[in-house]
Structure 1
Amino acid sequence: MLFVVLCNDKPGHLDLRMATRPPHVEWLKGLEAEGTLKAAGPFLGDDGKPVGSMLILKAESLEAATALAAQDPYAGAGLFSDVTVRPWNWVFVNPEA
C-alpha cells in the first residue's frame, strides 16, 4: 500500500534543513534502492526556498509508514512542526499500474 507523508518545517529552520540535507538524501537513496520510496521532494515557500517535504512510501500499514517517516534524519533533527501520514491510491499516471 502507498502512503503520502506531508511534513511542514518549523518557521525559520532553513539552516537546520540545509545542514541535515546530506543524511536525509542518503536515507532517501536507501529507501529508493529497496523499492520503498516512490517519490519525494520539498514544498517551496513564496521565496522559492524549502518549507516542508512530501514523500510517497510503500509500506505494509499506516503504522509501518509512520515508523518509517520517523526515521527521516529531518525528523530526528527536529525540523518538522508537524507530520501527517495518509494512505494514498495512485490512480492516474502510475507507472506500475
Structure 2
Amino acid sequence: MFFIFLGTDNPDCFDLRRDTKSRHSAYLDAATGSVAVLMSGPTLDSEGREAGSVMILEAPDTKSVIGFFETEPYHLAGLFGATDVRAWNWKRGNPYL
C-alpha cells in the first residue's frame, strides 16, 4: 500500500528544522524493512521558508508507517505541530520521468 505523510512544523522552528535536517535525511535514506520512502520534500510557507514535510511511502499498513515515524528525527526533536498519515491510491506516475 501507499501512504502520504504530511507534517506541519510548529511555529518559529526554522532553527530546529535546520539543525535536525541531516539526521532526518540520513534516517530517510537508510529506511529499510517494511517501509520504503519513495518521495519526500519540504512544504514552504508564504515567504518560501521550509515549514513542513510531505512524504510518499510504501508500507504494508498504517501501523508500520506510524512506527516508522516514532523514531524519525524531526518527530523526536518536536518539530511537527501536526501530522497526518493517509492511505493513498496512487493513480498516475511521476510526470518528470
TM-score (norm: length of structure 1) = 0.89
Instruction: Give the 4+ runs in structure 1 shifted more than 3 A.
Output: none
Which residue does 1:9 correspond to in 2? 9
Q: Report the Cα offset of residue 94 of structure 1.
A: 5.4
Aligned residues with identical type, % of pairs: 35
- 1:6 match: secondary structure: strand
Q: Which residue identity does 1:5 align to in structure 2? A: F
TM-superposition CA deviations, 1:3-51 (whole Å, max 9, x none): 10000000000100000001001011112x7670110000000111100
Which residue does 2:47 correspond to in 1? 47
Bigger mean CA offset, 60-69 vs 10-19: 60-69
**Structure-2 separation of matches of 1:49 and 1:69:** 23
**Structure-2 separation of matches of 1:89 and 1:61:** 13
**Structure-1 separation of matches of 2:68 and 2:55:** 11
TM-score (norm: length of structure 2) = 0.89
Which segments of 5 or more consecutive residues in structure 1 lack a partner in the other structure? none
Q: Contact 1:40/1:53 (CA < 8 Å) preserved in 2? A: yes
Q: Is 1:75 aligned to residue 58 of structure 2?
A: no
**Structure-2 separation of matches of 1:38 and 1:52:** 17
